[in-house]
A and B are shown apart, each in its own frame.
Chain A
Amino acid sequence: MSRRAEPSERPDSLPRFHRLSKIEPILYLAPFLVGVIVFTLYPVIHVVFISLMEDYNYLTRAFSRFGLGNYISVLGNKYFIQALSNTFIYVLLVIPIATCIALAAANMLNQKLKLTGLFQTAYFLPMVTSVTAVGLAWRFMFNERIGIVNFLLSLVGIDPVGWLTKAEWSMPALVIYGIWNILPFTIILLLAGLQSVNPMFYTAARVDGSKGARIFFKITVPLLAPTIMLTTIVNTISAFKVFNELFPLFKGQAGPFYNLYTVVYFIYEQMSGKPRLGRAASAAMVLFAVILALTLIQLLIQRRWRGTGKG
């Protein structure tokens, strides 16, 4: 007798746990799914609608027109255009530099040396600490008058730099902090990649008489290429959301002269004060479009990589 056919006809005669087993998965899933549906699935769908509603009032849920008005207004907003270009510049500066430094650091950490535990602790520390708190330390280090950065520069004869007060130096300051911040995560991913490289490749290279630098560029880098690509994409996605870093460095403003708008800062600003959620939502959709494109590239790489059996 199959118990799937029976319950609807004679539920009372079934043993307790058989009835339970039908609804049991629901009971296990409910706490998890409620959170996911209310705070992820529903918002994803809802935000698309908000982005299409002009003058959306979140209290009354009223709006004036339904259409592409918010997108037109956001894409025509000079601060949003500035935010997009700043964000792209930030990503294009931070990611390549951080990846190169991380590659060198990961390679050094991967050598069989003493004290690697101590070195790892030092290199990974920025990953676990609050961006706001450490950002304040950087703000103090970047101080034009008494900062340690300008002091070190003065030792080599460079005049004080207005890192946080001059428009032209604010992006370099943000980029330096950004690189320092993203390094631990990047090093960890690359180090994990390095540790999965078959040591036979190195032995073979050494038998052939290859030296350190040659091994690094001819063997390590090519073998690590898929990991480097994936790390780059994951980092690009996270750097594209640059936001928190601005608060400690520039006292909550988008740069000293409101010259450092980023995409997420723009979204935040639309939500604060008198909220314009329609415009915030359409800006968020633009952000999502970029992230979706990057994610698709990531999936393509992962598929090809798996296809060639290198993974």
Chain B
Amino acid sequence: MSKTARAAIYAGLILGALIMVFPFYWMFVSAFKTTQEINRFPPTWLPGSLRFDNFAIAFQKSPFARYFLNSVIVTASCVVCTGFTTILGAFAFSRLKFPGREVIFSILLSLLMIPFEMVIITNYTTIIHLGLNDSLPALIAPFTSSIFYTYILRNFFMTVPDGLYHSARVDGASNWRFLWRILVPMARPSLVTIMLLNALVSWNSFMWPLIVIKTTANRTLPFGLYAFTTESGSNPELMMAASTVVVLPMIILFLFARKSIVNGVARGGMKG
């Protein structure tokens, strides 16, 4: 590659990176500006001072600490429950023999194309009939198993040689023991990816909480943030401070686990 071509590519990459990162930069800087400064035009590129007051005021006006806690509870529960059901399900579909295994599995795979927006209607009535309406369990119950993650993990389990399974069984290990002592440790990279993607989706989930949650104290962060903008006036600096609180945990997670997340997404694990 010639020097000019290399320089052109760097220039293009930097320009693109600036556009992609700019909204985050703008969010963070604006979160520290005073009301006067944020209303200034032309805008200032850096805040006049590092004030944390906006965060304090936002937390005072709206129970963001509570929203944060709810988001943590819901995300952790979904990840743990889905992880558990996925491990057991993937094991059954890859190692255990039972009649109709392949037929059941292909029916499940065909369900992958069902959009959540389609099942949301019945799920809403189900949640009401279960008496879970407007509660945190309503945000967890529909998301305790995932066909897609089970499919990914089953594919991984299938790559583990049969010989390992048979020799473990001959040595007297039960299926349960083989699964947790041998298979799960081997599948750690796949499991980590699955759980990270699951955590992202759960943390950012918006439509379902919007439909089932009525009480302020049961809101999760994205819903609480949206409600904050409609209920507490719309001071941009407070909005940006609150938004920062919502995006920061996921940005930190991403900085630490970029490769796992990107690999998972490349396998089609997020949208569609």
Residues in chain A within 8 A of chain B (CB atoms): 17, 24-26, 28-29, 31-36, 38-44, 46-47, 50, 58-59, 104-105, 108-109, 111, 113, 117-134, 136-138, 140-141, 143, 145-146, 148, 151, 154, 180, 183-185, 188-189, 191-192, 212, 234-235, 237-238, 241, 243-244, 247-248, 251-252, 264, 267-268, 271-272, 275, 277, 280-281, 284-285, 287-288, 291-292, 295
Chain B neighbourhood of A180, CB < 8 A: 19-20, 23
User: Which residue among A43, A146, A151, A292 has the maximum number of chain B CB atoms within 10 Å of its CB?
Assistant: A43
Identify the closest chain B residue to A58 (Cβ).
Answer: B125
Pair B111/A41 contact, Cβ less than 8 Å: yes
Is B232 interfacial (CB-CB < 8 Å)?
Answer: no
| Candidates A24, A36, A125; contact of B24 at CB < 8 Å | A125
Is B86 interfacial (CB-CB < 8 Å)?
Answer: yes
Pair A185/B86 contact, Cβ less than 8 Å: no
With contacts A104-B12, A111-B9, A113-B6 taken as known, whether A121 is within 8 angstroms of B255 at the C-beta atoms is yes
**Interchain residue pairs with CB less than 8 A apart (13):** A25-B92, A25-B96, A33-B89, A50-B121, A117-B258, A129-B246, A130-B221, A132-B246, A136-B27, A137-B243, A252-B226, A268-B211, A284-B121
Q: Which 6 A-B pairs have the closest CB atoms?
A: A35-B145, A32-B89, A43-B122, A43-B119, A122-B17, A28-B92
* Interface of chain A: mostly helix, strand, loop or mixed: helix
Could you tell me the distance between the alpha carbons of A138 and B25 in the complex, rounded to whole angstroms?
11
Residues of B in contact, count (CB < 8 Å): 95
**Known A132-B222, A237-B272; further 7 A-B contacts with Cβ < 8 A:** A50-B121, A108-B9, A108-B13, A130-B204, A133-B243, A136-B27, A247-B226
Pair A148/B43 contact, Cβ less than 8 Å: yes
Identify the closest chain B residue to A247 (Cβ).
Answer: B226
Closest approach, in angstroms, between the C-beta of A67 and any C-beta of chain B?
A: 18
- Residues 9-51 of B contacting A (Cβ, < 8 Å): 9-10, 12-13, 16-17, 19-21, 23-24, 26-27, 30, 38-43
Q: With contacts defined as CB atoms under 8 Å apart, how many contacts are there between chain A and chain B in the complex?
A: 278
Residues in chain B within 8 A of chain A (CB atoms): 1, 5-6, 9-10, 12-13, 16-17, 19-21, 23-24, 26-27, 30, 38-43, 84-86, 88-89, 91-93, 96-98, 101, 108, 111, 113-115, 117-126, 128, 141-145, 147, 150, 174-175, 200, 203-204, 206-207, 210-211, 221-223, 225-226, 229-230, 236, 239-240, 243-244, 246-247, 250-251, 253-255, 258, 261-262, 265-266, 268, 270-272
Pair B226/A271 contact, Cβ less than 8 Å: no
Closest approach, in angstroms, between the C-beta of B113 and any C-beta of chain A?
A: 4
| Candidates B88, B143, B247; contact of A129 at CB < 8 Å | B247
Pair A109/B13 contact, Cβ less than 8 Å: yes
Pair A277/B125 contact, Cβ less than 8 Å: yes
Pair A24/B175 contact, Cβ less than 8 Å: yes
Pair B12/A108 contact, Cβ less than 8 Å: yes
Pair B6/A31 contact, Cβ less than 8 Å: no
Closest approach, in angstroms, between the C-beta of B169 and any C-beta of chain A?
A: 10
| Candidates A38, A59, A134; contact of B27 at CB < 8 Å | A134
Identify the closest chain A residue to B88 (Cβ).
Answer: A28
Chain B neighbourhood of A244, CB < 8 A: 206-207
With contacts A39-B141, A123-B20 taken as known, whether A143 is within 8 angstroms of B229 at the C-beta atoms is no
Pair B118/A288 contact, Cβ less than 8 Å: yes
Pair B26/A140 contact, Cβ less than 8 Å: yes
Could you tell me the distance between the alpha carbons of A176 and B254 in the complex, rounded to whole angstroms?
24
With contacts A25-B92, A31-B85, A129-B250 taken as known, whether A40 is within 8 angstroms of B23 at the C-beta atoms is no
